Structure 1
Amino acid sequence: MANPQTTPGPQGSGRRKAMKAKTATVTGKQRISPDLIRLSFSCPEIIGADLPFSDHYIKLLFVPEGADYAWPFDLAEITASKPRELQPVRRTYTLRTVDTEAGTFDVDFVAHGDEGLAGPWAQSADAGDVIGFGGPGGAWKPEADYEHFVLAGDEAAAPAIFAALEQLPAGTTATAFVEIATLDATFATPTGEGIDVVWVSRDGATHGTKLIDALRQSGYPTKKTSWFVHGVAEMVKETRKFLFVEGGVSKEDASISGYWRLGMTEDQWQQSKMEFNAQNEKEEQALAGQ
């Protein structure tokens, strides 16, 4: 996932802005780690699209149980005509790879058994299955203005992190901190001169706690650095303090956002994200003024 934003409708309407939906067809399936499943998709509708970023994401559209429609459907019509509980459920995923000439892309799913919505769907998906999605969106890539990049996140952010490593400007370096459940859950990473991938094992700890510890221990690079930090909201909150309050890092040099939050569904998180971010800003200003 990559900085997903769910756009609400008018205040009090309870509706979200409709996206132009496209069709993705499953063409392949691969277990890339004990915790991750990679699905390959075909989507002719993205052929020729301008997708210059490394954090492109899509919003998969799942039809809720009890709804009287199936894909393909007119998203705008469904959004306008159905009550909220019968509208498509959106789940945001980062594209691990995308080929706009062939009209293909890969998406990595965290598999939690029967837990969640997208994970179980990915586990049971077969070639030929179709699903609707909105997007792709995206806003960040490693720029040549910087000498070094620090990237950090959990499994949800790994696709954007690895895509960025594959797009590093010539002559730059990068350190990527990737949090996983255990060191038995590693998976293939980009390689190359100047790329350092550091695996951070949770080993039962709360998501994000080991990751922020690793960032603090690594400290602040002496080179001109761009930061890309995404993952669980609680980790992001602490990392913002580490960067902006303690380290004096300019916010212009950082892409940082919570992809998800402990104990919340994506819908619940998106509804509360603006308030969460505003509270972070307020606390950081207070700390900076001490």
Structure 2
Amino acid sequence: MTAASAPFELFRLEVERVTRLSPSLVRVTFTGAGLDGFASGGLDQSLSLFLPLPGQPEPVLPPASDDPAGWYAAYRAMPHDTRAVMRSYTAREQRRSPADELDIDFAVHPDGGPACAWAERAEPGDRVAVLGPTGPDNNGIRFHRPESAEWVLLWADETALPAAASILESLPAGTKAKVWLEVPYADDQLELKTEADAEIHWLVREVTEASGADRTERTVEAVRAAALPETVPYCWIAGEAGTVKALRRHLVNERQFDRKSVSFTGYWRRGISEDGIREEASA
């Protein structure tokens, strides 16, 4: 695939270093000869990460193609015990100097899937592939704040925390922001950079679970109890699909926010893997 024919291209990368950010977050920094063609738009920029199966030196993929749909069909037609593991992630940060580097933050937990397990054992030199943007203006970005929005509401769990952190960094100085970030442990509360006038609430599950309430109910109640500005909002909510759906319902039905002002993305769903979600979508 080429920049001229598609907004995304396949990049072969390798691990430069691994940094433990917190108990539940691992940052993997990648480099690669072709990374100069990668062009993240920042914010919640998504990409597709391809990981090798255990025992493979690099991810097994079809040959590059100028036909994205055909390439993906060829990938799906490959045997499951051969083809690379495919997962969606956020381009946390891209740097051009002193060298081309790309950071991806992984949410890890004891019962995690193959991507989680890979991040836990990643070492410099490990090889991966990324289907990523060749231009900053691409359809892998969901955060589109309209000029009419006078303040911003963000909610994210740990899987969407890298995207929320990137969005916070992008907000102009003085921007009003109400932010809820859900993480498993108190030590997952990262020090976030922003020039916005941001009111950040950390929802720590090892603390909130003591209430006995359902996880989604606890999250919605935290937002429901907040006093929010009466001016025009723009909302971005991402993370577990069931919680995202419940929060959107609260904002649209109870708060009477315009549906168009609420951007929502289910990064994962309880009880089903990303492969399962893709199979459902294909069916």
TM-score range, shorter chain: 0.7 to 0.9
CA distance in 2, matches of 1:211, 1:114: 22
Structure 1, unpaired ranges of 5+: 1-18, 276-290
CA distance in 2, matches of 1:265, 1:218: 33
* Residue 88 in structure 1 maps to residue 84 in structure 2: yes
Asked whether the equivalents of residues 59 and 83 of structure 2 are also in contact (C-alpha less than 8 Å), the reply is no
Matches within 5 A, 1:226-265: 226-265=234-273
Structure 2, unpaired ranges of 5+: 1-7, 65-70, 134-139
Aligned mate of 1:152, from 126, 150, 155: 155
Matches within 5 A, 1:1-290: 20-47=9-36, 49-64=38-53, 70-71=58-59, 73=61, 74=63, 76=71, 79=75, 82-83=78-79, 86-99=82-95, 102-113=99-110, 115-136=112-133, 137-203=140-206, 204=209, 206-272=214-280
Deviations 1:78-120 (A, max 9, x none): 5276245543221111122123564322111122236311111
CA distance in 2, matches of 1:180, 1:81: 37
Asked whether the equivalents of residues 216 and 246 of structure 2 are also in contact (C-alpha less than 8 Å), the reply is no
Task: State the TM-score, normalizing by the size of structure 1.
Answer: 0.77
Moved more, 73-82 or 236-245: 73-82
CA distance in 1, matches of 2:81, 2:50: 13
CA distance in 1, matches of 2:79, 2:38: 33
CA distance in 1, matches of 2:75, 2:281: 22
Structure-2 change in CA distance of 1:81 and 1:117 (3 Å): closer
- Offset, 1:196: 2.1
CA distance in 2, matches of 1:207, 1:216: 14
CA distance in 1, matches of 2:55, 2:13: 23
CA distance in 1, matches of 2:114, 2:76: 23
Moved more, 233-242 or 20-29: 20-29
Counterpart residue type for residue 94 of structure 1:
T
Asked whether the equivalents of residues 37 and 110 of structure 1 are also in contact (C-alpha less than 8 Å), the reply is yes
- Offset, 1:245: 1.6
Once superposed, what is the RMSD of the aligned Cα atoms? 2.8
- Offset, 1:72: 6.4
Identity of paired residues, percent? 28
SS of residue paired to 2:110: coil
CA distance in 2, matches of 1:215, 1:263: 25
Counterpart residue type for residue 147 of structure 1:
E
Structure-2 change in CA distance of 1:274 and 1:240 (3 Å): farther
Asked whether the equivalents of residues 244 and 251 of structure 1 are also in contact (C-alpha less than 8 Å), the reply is yes
- Offset, 1:164: 0.7
Counterpart residue type for residue 184 of structure 2:
A
Counterpart residue type for residue 182 of structure 1:
Y
SS of residue paired to 1:87: coil
Asked whether the equivalents of residues 13 and 129 of structure 2 are also in contact (C-alpha less than 8 Å), the reply is yes
Aligned length: 256
CA distance in 1, matches of 2:252, 2:279: 25
